Amino acid sequence: MESLKKIAGKINNISVRSLEIKAPFVDLVSRFSEDPGTVALMSGGDLDCARYHILAIRPWLEIKGYGRKITLTADGQTILLDGDPFDALRQVINEYAMVFDDLSIPIATGLFGYLSYDLKDFIEELPRTSVDDSGLPQLCFFAPSAIIIHDKLKNQTQLCVANRLDHNNLKIGDNIESIEALLIANDEKRDKFEGGATDLQSLFSQPEYMAAVTKIKKYIVSGDIYQVNLSQRFETDFSGNAFAMFKLLYQIAPAPFYAYINAGDHQIVSTSPERFLKRRTEDVETRPIKGTRPRGKDISEDQELSKDLLKSKKDDAELSMIVDLMRNDLGRVCCGGSIKVVEHRRLEAYHNVFHLVSVVKGKLQADKDSIDLIKATFPGGSITGCPRIRAMEIIDELEPVRRHIYTGSIGYLSFHESLDLSIAIRTATIFQNRILFSVGGGVVFDSDPADEFEETLHKGRSLMGVLLNKKTGSKADEWLWQNGKLVPKNQAMVSVADLGFQYGLGFFETIRVENGQPAFLKDHVQRFYRAWKVIFKTPVPDLTWDVIIRQVIEKNGLEKQTAAVKIMASFGDPAAFPLHHNLMVTARKYAPRPAIINKNGLDLVTFPDPRQTPLAAHKTLNYAYYFIAGKWAHQQGADEALILNPDGSISETNTANILLINDKDKKVICPKSPHVLSGIMEKQVIQHLVNQGVQVENRKIMPEELFSADQVVMTNSLIGAVPVVSLDGEKTGWKKTGFVNSFSW
């Protein structure tokens, strides 16, 4: 780790200064919320574990781990490591270890961030049967230049700044005066967010979740397991400021272990009530939670529900089981005889729910450190099950995707023998304009599947409620037509044996629909059936497509808008009897590409790989070539890829046909290719030009002719006819004539 100090420097000492902050602490956090590396740990409510608000800002070191690939980044320089992420954390902590004797300050310098649940695979040898569908780091920590700590009990605020020196013993980074100046500034940040316009989608339906609970109960009966924590993940759209959602949640439903992490390309918002681990030198504490009831509508119902929780034998057994598990875990690293259950089955009231909580304490052995403590207990037993290893195997079996942050841990690891980590429950990840969060519960022998499903909804109510209340309007799920019936989009299914899925054996049509009226529907259906006869070689279906399209449009509330409708056919399962093709119709709101509006045309680049396949004459589901070409064009800063034939002549673009127009000859030239899709819109534009006295010529066209033509036009059923303004960075020929300009939607 000597190379780390060469780029990040060393910590010389810590400056500590009292601050007077008049604004609410959450507003102070807001000023830094959009800065990557900002971490806020806020304690809502008045429980004994909700004492400190902590804000960590201006990181001088970033640690991220993707499996065994660890990156340490400081001052724009990166060190790459290959190894166990826990070992990497230990190395960094040991490298910057220091003595800090002021026990009134929980952390003066250290690392802030998260450990994902999936780090379990570096502690135990487990089968990995769930999918990582986010690609986010499993380990993410930042070393802040400054830490602001507000003690709610004493109503005091202190600023801690790490004073660093480079390898020449020269001062680097922020000093306490510069940080104070930042804190005085009052920069307003965006405070708006929206989510849930596409409604919450779960990877489980209620019957599927209940079936998973039933399977866990069978594992319990067979003796595999005593308890398993089963969860379901919700997902929907999100836009705006993630911290604005954090702030709103904190105001309406405070809890002791709120956390906000701006990790740069993603943000974490956690409203957790549960402490995983706390350490102060040798003193260690964990507070497992088991047992949940919703809050009542009035005082009487509240009291009834809380008494029901306290009397519940099922919840008592569940909590006792986890307490025993945590005692055993702590016993691996704590001194013999030091582990005590200080409180058991304490009732704690939160905004939406009641919980049963136990407090377990111990003394860490002198030869053990913070990483030893974490590895002995991670992931927390309250959110895996008992025994832990078999529980984690069953979780991976029944939950289709990796949990990532959910049921991992959030908090800090200091460089001076302290840590405080929460269990990451009631925690959301905002990533690529989506928000994801999971909720779950412990399943035991006498669990009722329906009750377990309802419990997940109670636990997720705060996040769900905020998202749904922020919706601009009530809207049903997106719907599609599949094989004769309308179904929600998230319930549509295609068999894995479908040759359309396996080989792309199928085809589609994309149709523009204005105010409920599909454009050129007869031509689209004719082309669709032509492909059907060539590719499927079975009788075409007898369907009234205009009625089906109208049903889909109305079900999605698109009657008064411009919509893009897609008709799709896949071959189906060849082993099925009778042979069953798979037909689907989808609809979405359509808006013109910004490039068309901003530039009055589209830029092309020539795709380097020519295309030659007889399937190009049909709109098949084997569309990967065109998808890759379009993605490549966007990476080059263009709008579309120009597709060439093997002889270098022009065929089309990745989404459209091309036409060249010469004013002098009053001629429209269509590229001649061995195999190319005949365009519905191309046909309409050509007919429009013919009506104006323009002649049509079909011949081979080379790319250089785009620069000599008076007009170059792209056509497809969605965009209509749009000028091509450049090819490979050079402007194409373009004269404003009446030929194409008079043709528009």
In the predicted model, what is the mean pLDDT of residues 159-183? 89
CA distances from 389 to 125, 215, 325, 397, 476 (A): 9, 17, 12, 13, 41
Q: What is the pLDDT of residue 743?
A: 52
Structure confidence by residue, pLDDT tens digits, 273-308: 999 999 999 999 999 998 888 888 888 998 999 999
b/e per residue 590-621 (b: at least 16 CB within 10 A): beeeebbeeeebbbbbbbeeebeeebbbbbbb
CA distances from 212 to 128, 131, 452 (A): 18, 18, 11
Q: What is the pLDDT of residue 55?
A: 97
3-class secondary structure, 476: coil
pLDDT at 188 over 90: no
Q: What is the pLDDT of residue 201?
A: 80
Residue 567 binned pLDDT confidence (cut-offs 50, 70, 90): very high
Residue 64 binned pLDDT confidence (cut-offs 50, 70, 90): very high
* Annotated active-site residue in 62, 235, 274, 652: 274
Choice among 117-121, 212-216, 454-458 with the minimum mean pLDDT = 454-458
Q: How far is the C-alpha of 407 from the C-alpha of 419, rounded, in Å?
A: 18
Q: What is the pLDDT of residue 2?
A: 62
Determine how many CB atoms are found less than 10 A away from the CB of residue 154: 10
Q: Position of tokens 């061995």?
A: 674
Q: What is the pLDDT of residue 476?
A: 46
Residue type, 376: A
Q: Residues 325, 328, 330, 336: is their CA dihedral positive or negative?
A: positive
Alpha carbon 641 to chain centroid, angstroms: 29
Helix ranges, 351-448 (H): 370-377, 388-398
Q: What is the pLDDT of residue 537?
A: 87
Helix ranges, 203-312 (H): 206-221, 242-252, 299-311
Q: Which two tokens stand for residue 312?
A: 């519940």
Choice among 107-111, 112-116, 250-254, 267-271 with the minimum mean pLDDT = 250-254
pLDDT at 464 over 80: no
Q: What is the pLDDT of residue 198?
A: 67
Q: Angle 626-520-593 (CA atoms, 0-180°, nearest 5)?
A: 45
Q: What is the pLDDT of residue 471?
A: 47
b/e per residue 118-137 (b: at least 16 CB within 10 A): bbbbbbeeeeeebebebebb
Residue 578 binned pLDDT confidence (cut-offs 50, 70, 90): low
Q: What is the pLDDT of residue 615?
A: 85
> Domains (ranges, CATH) in the chain?
2-469 (3.60.120.10), 479-589 (3.30.470.10), 594-741 (3.20.10.10)
The residue ranking higher by pLDDT, 344 or 458, is 344
Q: At what angle do helices 242-252 and 461-469 cross, to 10 degrees?
A: 120
The DSSP secondary-structure symbol of 733 reads P
Residue 495 binned pLDDT confidence (cut-offs 50, 70, 90): confident
Q: Which two tokens stand for residue 153?
A: 């009990």
In the predicted model, what is the mean pLDDT of residues 593-614? 85
Q: Are 39 and 257 in contact (CB under 8 A)?
A: no
3-class secondary structure, 619: coil
Taking phi over 0 as left and psi of -120 to 50 as alpha, with beta for the rest, 560 belongs to alpha
Structure confidence by residue, pLDDT tens digits, 606-655: 999 998 888 888 888 888 899 889 999 999 999 999 999 999 999 999 99
Q: What is the pLDDT of residue 271?
A: 92
Q: What is the pLDDT of residue 475?
A: 41
Q: What is the pLDDT of residue 614?
A: 85
Q: Are 283 and 57 in contact (CB under 8 A)?
A: no
Residue 742 binned pLDDT confidence (cut-offs 50, 70, 90): very low
To the query of whether residue 274 is one of the catalytic residues in this protein, the response is yes
pLDDT at 473 over 50: no
Q: What is the pLDDT of residue 490?
A: 77
Q: Which residue from 443, 459, 398 is spatially nearest to 228, judged by alpha carbons?
A: 443
Cα within 13 Å of Cα(258), Cβ side: 29
Residue 700 binned pLDDT confidence (cut-offs 50, 70, 90): very high
* Annotated active-site residue in 10, 64, 290, 363: 290
Provide, rounded to the nearest whole percent, the portion of the chain with pLDDT above 70: 95
pLDDT at 196 over 90: no
pLDDT at 417 over 90: yes
Q: Which two tokens stand for residue 695?
A: 């002649």
pLDDT at 179 over 70: yes
Q: What is the pLDDT of residue 472?
A: 39
Q: Angle 256-19-114 (CA atoms, 0-180°, nearest 5)?
A: 35
Choice among 326-340, 363-377, 566-580 with the minimum mean pLDDT = 566-580
Residue type, 198: T
Q: What is the pLDDT of residue 735?
A: 57
Helix ranges, 106-186 (H): 176-184
pLDDT at 477 over 80: no
Helix ranges, 494-520 (H): 499-503
In the predicted model, what is the mean pLDDT of residues 350-357? 85
Mean pLDDT score of the chain: 90
Longest dimension (CA), the chain: 99
pLDDT at 468 over 80: no
Q: What is the pLDDT of residue 573?
A: 86
Backbone phi, psi, residue 663, to 5° = -70, -45
Determine how many CB atoms are found less than 10 A away from the CB of residue 231: 25
To the query of whether residue 735 is one of the catalytic residues in this protein, the response is no
Structure confidence by residue, pLDDT tens digits, 530-565: 999 999 988 898 888 998 999 999 999 999 999 999
Provide, rounded to the nearest whole percent, the portion of the chain with pLDDT above 90: 64
